[in-house]
Chain A
Amino acid sequence: MNGLLSTLVDILSEPAILVALIALIGLIAQRKNLSDTMKGTTKTFVGFLVIAAGAGILETALAPFGEMFQEAFNVAGVVPNNEAIVALALNEYGTNTALIMFFGMIVNVLIARFTRYKYIFLTGHHTMYLACMFAVIMAVAGFNTVPLIAAGSVALGIVMTLSPAILQPFMRELTGNDNVALGHFSAVGYAISGLIGKLFKGSKKNSTENINFPQGLGFLRDSTVSIALTMIVMYFIVAIVSGPAFIESELSGGTNYLVFSLIQGGSFAAGVFIILSGVRLVLSEIVPAFKGISTKLVPNAKPALDVPIIYTYAPNAVLMGFFSSFIGGIVSMIIMFISGGTIILPGVVPHFFTGAAAGVLGNATGGFKGAIAGSFVNGIIVSFLPVFLLPVLGDLGFANTTFSDADFAVSGIFFGSLANYAGPIAIVISLIVILVLMAIPFGKKKVNTEEK
């Protein structure tokens, strides 16, 4: 009996098996045929193992960067990248991540079913990444076993609902209807960008789209290319400052320091590429199942979809927003450099995706001035928030990489600080209070201040 029980525990504590079982449940619930069920379950299982393989490559690529940065500037340098931090965290928190993701989706559907907030969050990879972050935060806060899963799932379900909710007024302005919501965990940055755009109401007519913008920067859309190029440039700068002697004796085993940096920067992109392939495999069955089930249970819900859905509304604002946000990131880095302490390096990927969306929404409320100002502030927000997130991530706060989008940081800092000041019980009380506020009609304003 005990043997059987320990075997069962072994099975369920392997996250790859667990997510495969979740996919299997989803496929059976949709009454798929045997062939589809086999295919989907196996793909999900293998996908999770692919993520773990990518994590290994990424860790090897990133570790020397941290050491070089320390040697060059005597402070820690952090490159925010969701894929990187999640892949590293899954080694230890994989099982809890899978369970929090599964139950968090259920909480999201329940909130949509029983409150005024009819948002179904369909951006699966962000759901998974936030589930991972809550698995870490709740463990650091002092939860374990069932309470950890419960607290993490409720927190995830709440953020999955509130993140699209605070953006909906801006989405209505942009799309001209109320059918679709934005599901991307950087909503705080986008909402602030939209509000800043309102300061430039006068120039609303001067849209970014009236400007002739040079094309030919399309290669930045290609995340593999942009990650590789930025990491190589960053590696080169750090390598030149820390000098060949240190690198060739301590890190590269005698290989030329620039060649070594080039390969390391490229390997980082290779790691992310592999992790993304794994994420795609894991989500390929879970997201359609979630969509199908939620459509049945909450027929009048609004789907909250990934951020590129708004890029087609203002392609020029996308590029201007990226540049402006990136400049905000560089300015922030210089401020951190002067004031001392950990430095957050501007990554192309987070600034591209969040800066672009901030630009589109800023343009919708305040024309091209709104786009530039809003996305610049977004760049500052996504640079400074991670600094305050690092301390609540426990050991993961020392990983040279961290979560890159605003809502991760805002919700992480919120729950992490609660635990620091008043222990896990404060988190439980806050979750109950937020749920009660959401259940009351017209309690909207209060909930949003809670979240901030």
Chain B
Amino acid sequence: MKFLAVCGSGLGTSFMVEMNINQVLEELGVSGIEVSHSDLSSATPGDADVFFLAKDIAEGGEHLGEIVVLDNIIDMDELREKVKKVAEEKNLI
């Protein structure tokens, strides 16, 4: 199972989201998920099972498949809720 955080240049913001997702997964006790980050240009549908992107680039990432749109990229509570939902759907918890 792979998660991919995506942002415009794939340097800072997506990296932060990746670290936060890892933290949430640890809190939930979910292991065995590979989380990485990338820029919008390089991301392709086969790169991951679930893609996480901020609201402002969501329109550029619709082709990726299963996307989770983050309204506020620095809100840990929102991320926690959305990651938990994905984990439940995928029967990881």
Q: Are A312 and B70 in contact (CB under 8 A)?
A: yes
- Assembly CA distance A24 to B42 (angstroms): 28
A–B pairs, 5, beta carbons within 8 Å: A219-B60, A222-B41, A306-B15, A312-B55, A312-B70
Residue A151, interface by CB 8 Å: no
User: Do A306 and B10 have beta carbons less than 8 Å apart?
Assistant: no
A218:B60 contact, CB within 8 angstroms: yes
Q: For the complex, is B74 an interface residue (Cβ under 8 Å from A)?
A: yes
Q: CB distance B39 to A224 under 8 Å?
A: yes
Contact yes or no, A223 B13, CB < 8 A: no
Indicate whether A443 reaches chain B with its CB closer than 8 angstroms.
no
Question: Does B28 reach chain A (CB closer than 8 Å)?
Answer: no
Knowing that A221-B8, A221-B40, A312-B73 are A-B contacts, what are 8 other residue pairs whose CB atoms are under 8 Å apart, sorted by A's residue number?
A: A125-B11, A215-B59, A276-B9, A279-B11, A283-B11, A311-B56, A313-B72, A315-B56
Evaluate contact between B39 and A276: CB separation under 8 angstroms.
yes
Contacts of B37 in A (CB 8 A): 280
Q: A258 interface residue, CB < 8 Å from B?
A: no
A30–B2 CA distance with the chains assembled, in angstroms: 24
- B41 / chain A contacts, CB cutoff of 8 Å: 222-225, 273
Closest to A177 in B: B74
* A residues with CB within 8 A of B: 122-126, 175, 179-180, 183-184, 215-216, 218-219, 221-225, 273, 276-277, 279-280, 283, 287-288, 291, 305-309, 311-313, 315, 318, 353
Q: B73: which of A122, A184, A308 is its contact (CB, 8 Å)?
A: A308
CB distance from A209 to the nearest CB of B (A): 12
B54 at the binding interface (Cβ < 8 Å): yes
**A-side contacts of B33, CB under 8 Å:** none
Number of interface residues of B (CB under 8 A): 26
Closest to B16 in A: A305
A225 to chain B: which residues have CB within 8 Å? 41
Q: Which residue of A lies closest to B58 (CB)?
A: A218
Q: Are B11 and A306 in contact (CB under 8 A)?
A: yes
The minimal Cβ–Cβ distance linking B11 to chain A, given in whole angstroms, is 5
Cα of A306 to Cα of B13 in the assembled complex, Å: 6
Given A224-B41, A318-B56: A309 touches B74 (CB 8 Å cut-off): yes
What is the CA–CA distance of A276 and B38 in the complex, to the nearest angstrom? 10
Given contacts A215-B59, A280-B11, A306-B11, contact A311 B16 (CB under 8 A): no
B residues bordering A, Cβ < 8 Å? 7-13, 15-16, 19, 37, 39-42, 54-57, 59-60, 70-74
The interface residues of chain A lying within 8 Å CB-to-CB of B60 are 218-219, 221-222
**Complex Cα gap A123–B40 (Å):** 18
B54–A222 CB distance below 8 A: no
Q: Given B19, B42, B56, B72, which contacts A308 in the complex, CB threshold below 8 Å? A: B56
Residues of A within 8 A of B40 (CB): 221-223
Which single residue of chain B is at the shortest CB-CB distance from A352? B8
Nearest chain A residue, comparing its CB with the CB of B43: A222
The residue from A215, A216, A291, A306 contacting B12, defined by CB atoms under 8 A apart: A306
In the complex, what residues of B have CB within 8 A of residue A223's CB?
8-9, 39-41
Among B8, B10, B57, B73, which residue has the most Cβ atoms of chain A within 10 A? B8
A435 to B7 Cα, complex, angstroms: 35
Report the minimal beta-carbon distance from A160 to chain B, rounded to whole angstroms.
14
Q: For B55, what are the chain A residues with a Cβ–Cβ distance below 8 Å?
A: 312, 315
Chain A residues with CB under 8 A of B42: 277
Smallest Cβ-Cβ distance to B60: which chain A residue:
A218
In the complex, residue of chain B having the shortest beta-carbon distance to the beta carbon of A223? B9
Do A180 and B74 have beta carbons less than 8 Å apart? yes
Q: Taking the nearest CB of chain B, how far is it from the CB of A404, in angstroms? A: 13
Question: Closest A-chain residue to B36, C-beta based?
Answer: A284
A322 → chain B, closest Cβ, in Å? 12
Cβ contact of B57, chosen from A221, A273, A306, A313, cutoff 8 A: A221
